[in-house]
Amino acid sequence: MSKREEFLDQMESQLNVWRAQISRFDARAEKETEARREEMKKKIGNLQNQINEFEDRMEAIKKTNQEAWEDLKEGAEKAWSKLSKSFSSLVSTFY
């Protein structure tokens, strides 16, 4: 397995974990007061948008050749860091 494939597999695996957690948060938000629910849904929506943007980066990496992916990796790692921080912020909203 190439480094690019390992990178993509790791990212996809973590995204799957986060998607499952987001689904639980979404269900939990439905049980909250209207104001709290709106706040939670907004944060969930923002995170889902970031996930979608990151998935676009992953697709770009998949389409590049082995050498060119290194150029995209740095941007993907920065986006991943931002996404990770956003997920942590979402978790703090629910706990």
Q: Residues 58-67: pLDDT tens digits?
A: 999 999 887 7
**47-58 tens-digit pLDDT:** 999 999 999 999
The whole domain housing 59 covers 3-94
User: Number of folded domains in the chain?
Assistant: 1
pTM (2 decimals)? 0.83
Look up tokens 């770009």; give the residue.
Answer: 60
pLDDT at 24 over 90: yes
Dump strand ranges (E) for 11-76. Answer: none
What's residue 65's pLDDT?
83
Separation in Å, CA 41 to CA 19, 63, 93: 14, 33, 11
Q: Which residues of 13-42 are buried (b: 16+ CB within 10 A; e: fewer)?
A: eebeebeeebeebeeebeeeeeeeeeebee
As a whole number of angstroms, the distance between CA 68 and CA 52 comes to: 22
What's residue 19's pLDDT?
93
Mean pLDDT computed over 59-87: 88
